[in-house]
Structure 1
Amino acid sequence: MPASPLLAATMLACARIGAIHSVVFAGFSAEALKSRILDASASVVVTADEAVRGGKTIPLKSIVDEAVGGCQCVQRVLVSQRTGAHVPMTPRDLQLEQAMSEVSDSCAPEPLDSEDPLFMLYTSGSTGKPKGILHTQAGYLLYASITQQYVFDYRPGDVYACVADIGWITGHSYVVYGPLCNGATTVLFESIPTYPDPGRYWEMVERLGVRQFYGAPTALRLLLKAGDHHVHKYDRSSLATLGCVGEPLNDEAWVWYHSVVGEGRCTVVDTWWQTETGGISIAPRPSPDDSTPKPGFPMRPFFGIQPVLVDDQGNELHGPNVSGNLCIRHPWPGMARSIYGDHGRFMDTYYRPYPGLYFSGDGARRDGEGHYQITGRVDDVINVKGHRIGTAEIMIHEWLKQQW
Structure 2
Amino acid sequence: MTIAPPPGFAAHANVSAEAYAEAEADPEAFWAAQARRLEWDRAPEQGYDGSRWPEVTWFADGTLNVARNCVDRPVEAGNGATVALHWEGEPGDRRTVTYADLQREVSRCAHALTELGVGRGDVVVYLPVLVETVVVMLACARIGAVHSLVFGGFSAAALRFRLTDGAAKLLVTTDGQYRRGKAVPVKANADEAADGVTSLEHVLVVRRTGSDVGWTEGRDVWWHDVVDRQPESHAAEAFGAESPLMLVYTSGTTGKPKGLLHTMGGYLTQTSWTSWACFDHKPDDVYWCTADLAWVTAHTYEVYGPLSNGVTQVIYEGTPDTPEPGRHFEIIERYGVTVYYTAPTLVRTYMKWGEEVPARHDLSSLRLLGSVGEAINPEAWRWFHRVVGGGRCPIVDTWWQSETGAAICAPLPGVTPLKPGSATHPLPGLSVRVVDQRGRTCDAGEGGLLVIDRPWPSMARTVWGDPERFRSSYFADFAEQGWYKAGDGAVVDDEGYVTLQGRIDDVMNVSGHRLGSIELESALVSHPRVAEAGVVGAPDPTTGQAVVAFVTVTDGPSDGLADELRAHVAAELGPVARPREVVLVGELPKTRSGKIMRRLLLDVTAGNEPGDTTSLVDPAAFAELAAGYRVRS
Q: TM-score, normalised on structure 1?
A: 0.92
Unaligned runs of 5+ in 2: 1-126, 508-516, 526-633
Q: Tell me how far apart the structure 2 counterparts of residues 97 and 283 of structure 1 sit (CA, whole Å).
A: 42
Q: Does residue 340 of structure 1 match 2:467?
A: no
Does residue 1:371 correspond to 2:371, yes or no? no
Distance in structure 1 (CA, Å) of the matches to 2:417 and 2:320:
28
For residue 302 of structure 1, what is the aligned residue in structure 2?
427
Q: Give how far 1:222 is off.
A: 0.8
- Paired residue type of 2:294: G
| Structure 1 partner of 2:36 | none
Deviation track 1:202-224 (CA, whole Å, cap 9, x = no partner) reads 11111101110000111110111
CA deviation digits over 1:3-33, x for unaligned, max 9? 0111000000000000000011111000000
* TM-fit CA distance, 1:286: 4.4
1:247 aligns with 2:374: yes
Aligned with 1:325 (options 436, 441, 449): 449
How many aligned residue pairs are there? 383
Partner of 1:388: none
- Partner residue of 1:238 out of 335, 356, 365: 365
Written as runs of structure 1 = structure 2, the 5 A alignment for 1:249-398 is 249-286=376-413, 288=415, 291-317=416-442, 319-355=443-479, 356-379=482-505
* Runs of 5+ consecutive residues of structure 1 not aligned to the other structure: 382-390, 400-404
- 1:37 corresponds, among 142, 163, 166, to 163
From 344, 348, 357, the equivalent of 1:221 is: 348
Which residue does 2:197 correspond to in 1? 71
Is this contact kept in 2: 1:148–1:178, CA < 8 A?
yes
Q: Does 1:161 align with 2:285?
A: no
Matching residue within 104, 108, 113 for 2:231: 104
Between the aligned partners of 2:398 and 2:333, the Cα distance in structure 1 is 24
The amino acid that maps onto 2:476 is R
Offset, 1:313: 1.9
Larger mean Cα displacement after TM superposition, 269-278 or 307-316? 307-316
- 1:116 aligns with one of 223, 243, 248: 243
Quote the Cα distance in structure 1 between the aligned partners of 2:158 and 2:395. Answer: 35
Return the alpha-carbon distance in structure 1 between the equivalents of residues 438 and 506 of structure 2: 15
Name segments (4+ residues, structure 1) moved above 3 Å. Answer: none
| Pairwise CA distance, 1:110 | 2.3
Of residues 154, 157, 177, the one that matches 1:51 is: 177
Over the aligned positions, Cα root-mean-square deviation in angstroms equals: 1.6
Cα deviations by residue, 1:20-64 (Å, 9 ceiling, x for unpaired)? 000111110000000110000001000010011111233111011
Residue identity opposite 2:503 in structure 1:
R
Identity %: 46
CA distance in structure 1 between the aligned counterparts of 2:155 and 2:370, rounded to whole angstroms: 30
Contact 2:394 2:413 in 1 (8 A): no
The offset of 1:260, in angstroms, is: 0.6
Q: Which residue of 2 aligns with 1:385?
A: none
CA distance in 1, matches of 2:310, 2:183: 33
Amino acid aligned to 2:239:
L
* Aligned: 1:184 with 2:311: yes
Q: Which residue of 2 aligns with 1:6?
A: 132
**Using the alignment, how far apart are the partners of 2:262 and 2:236 within structure 1?**
19
Structure of higher CA gyration radius = 2
Matched, 1:26 2:147: no
State the partner residue of 2:256.
129
Q: Is the 8 A contact 2:271 2:405 kept in 1?
A: yes
In 2, Cα distance between equivalents of 1:186 and 1:142: 20
The 8 Å contact of residues 176 and 184 in structure 2, kept in 1 or not, is answered as yes
Distance in 1 (CA, whole Å) between partners of 2:185 and 2:246 is 25
SS in 1 for 2:192: helix
Partner of 2:146, secondary structure, is coil
- Matched to 1:11, the amino acid is M
Give TM-score scaled by structure 2 length: 0.59
Cα deviation for residue 156 of structure 1 reads 1.6
SS of the residue corresponding to residue 348 of structure 1 reads helix
Counterpart-to-counterpart distance in 1, 2:274 and 2:324: 32
Q: Is the 8 A contact 1:22 1:121 kept in 2?
A: yes
Matched residue, 2:81: none
Letter in 2 for 1:121: V
What's the CA shift string for 1:148-175, capped at 9, x where partnerless?
Answer: 1111111122110000001100010111
In the superposition, relative to structure 1, how do residues 252 and 280 fare at CA in structure 2: closer, same or farther (>3 Å)?
same
Task: Using the TM superposition, give the Cα deviation of residue 380 of structure 1 relative to its aligned residue in structure 2, in angstroms.
Answer: 5.1
Q: Residue type of the partner of 2:235?
A: A
- 1:101 Cα offset (Å): 2.5
Asked if the contact 1:120–1:135 (Cα under 8 Å) also holds between the matched residues in 2, the reply is yes
- Which of 214, 221, 232 is the equivalent residue of 1:94? 221
CA distance in 2, matches of 1:346, 1:49: 36
Partner deviation per Cα, 1:105-130 (whole Å, 9 max, x = no partner): 22211221001100001111112211
CA distance, structure 2, for counterparts of residue 306 and residue 194 of structure 1: 39
Question: Which string of whole-angstrom CA distances, capped at 9 and with x for unpartnered residues, describes residues 74-103 of structure 1?
Answer: 000000111111212212000011111232
| C-alpha contact (below 8 Å) 1:150/1:285 kept by paired residues | yes
Whether the 8 Å contact between 1:51 and 1:83 is mirrored in structure 2 is yes
SS in structure 2 at match of 1:277:
coil
Amino acid at match of 1:280: A
